[in-house]
Amino acid sequence: MRESFLKYIQYEKRFSAHTITSYENDINQFEQFLTDNYGEKLEEASHNSIRHWVVSLVEKGTSPRSVNRKMASLRALYKFLLKREIITKDPTWKIQALKTNKALPQFVNEPDITRLLDQCEFSRDFEGKRDQLILELLYGTGIRLSELINLKTDDIDIYSNTIKVLGKRNKERIIPFSNNLKHVIEDYKQLKKMSVSAKEDEYLLVTETGDRCYPMLIYRTVKKYLNLFTTIEKRSPHVLRHTFATHLLNKGAELNAVKDLLGHSSLAATQVYTHNSLDKLKSVFDQAHPKA
């Protein structure tokens, strides 16, 4: 049953590998709780046993955001079981999400990201050029980590300065990029051809041994360089995506345009960046308006 659900979200819903792993871990954790406290199987869980699990998570210090994510996993599971007529009633019904403080996305300020990309001395070998390309792509296009790793060489159109990205739910979008990024891509591809015997030649970013890049390599690369140029707490690939969106809005880009570039399905997900833009607008107002 659990295996059928995991296959469903993998092959039919097209969830990312990271999301599937999170769902599986959440379900396994809840199943262990049921076994230890109620002697029930997943399909036998009741409204009360799920509420008890939520309370136990909170008492252990699990953040409301994490609890809500775990509940999203259970809701998806029981919706699947209901659809397959394995259960007749959804036990997650009427269990409300916990209130959370809306965390604003962290981003690198413009002077720091400019110094990183313009003044950092990347090594002239394949690894140095790949590191530069990773940073330039994340900040220059706002793509997600998973999209970066799955980016194929043929997805880059050097002539029109665009990349084709396959995002969540297999949604395809086209993102323009700068001439500066174009030069970095061309230099990288030339070094890659000379230096690496690529086993995964269809993918743009590869390791020194020719294998496709993996998430931890990207994380280590981003953290290594952000450590040199910024003091923000979070230093992950996603921070560069936040930085991309925030800087566009700060420069006057339309919210709908940023939404399309990020691959968001609704404006609600993009609007979180407007807070940072409003701070910038207020600063401009205070400096420029005669009555401020």
Strands (E), 45-177: 156-157, 162-166, 172-176
Q: Both 133 and 209 in a single domain?
A: yes
Domain membership of residue 131 as a residue range:
110-286
Q: Both 161 and 115 in a single domain?
A: yes
Q: Judge whether 275 counts as a catalytic residue.
A: no
Q: Predicted confidence band at 285 (pLDDT cuts at 50, 70, 90)? A: low
Q: How far is CA 158 from CA 144, 184, 284, in A?
A: 21, 11, 37
Q: Is the pLDDT reported for residue 272 higher than 90?
A: no
Q: Both 198 and 267 in a single domain?
A: yes
| 43, 64, 83 - which closes a domain | 83
Q: Judge whether 52 counts as a catalytic residue.
A: no
Q: Predicted confidence band at 266 (pLDDT cuts at 50, 70, 90)? A: confident
Q: Which of 144, 212, 242, 259 is catalytic?
A: 144
Q: Which of 168, 173, 234, 280 is catalytic?
A: 168
Q: What is the mean pLDDT of the chain?
A: 89
Q: Both 75 and 135 in a single domain?
A: no
pTM of the shown model: 0.68
Q: Both 146 and 266 in a single domain?
A: yes
Separation of alpha carbons 292 and 290, rounded Å: 6
Overall domain count for the chain: 2
The pLDDT tens digits for 128-141 are 999 999 999 999 99
Q: The CATH number of the domain where 69 resides is what? A: 1.10.150.130
Evaluate whether residue 175 is within a structural domain: yes
Q: Both 11 and 78 in a single domain?
A: yes
Q: Both 210 and 148 in a single domain?
A: yes
Burial 11-46 (b: 16+ CB within 10 A, else e): eeeebbeebeebbbebbeebeebbeeeeeeebeebe
Q: Which of 235, 241, 242, 259 is catalytic?
A: 241
Q: Both 154 and 228 in a single domain?
A: yes
Which helix H or strand E contains 140, and what residues bound it?
helix 126-141
- Any idea how long the chain is? 292
Q: Both 12 and 73 in a single domain?
A: yes
Evaluate whether residue 240 is within a structural domain: yes
Structural tokens at position 58? 């909170």
Q: Judge whether 168 counts as a catalytic residue.
A: yes
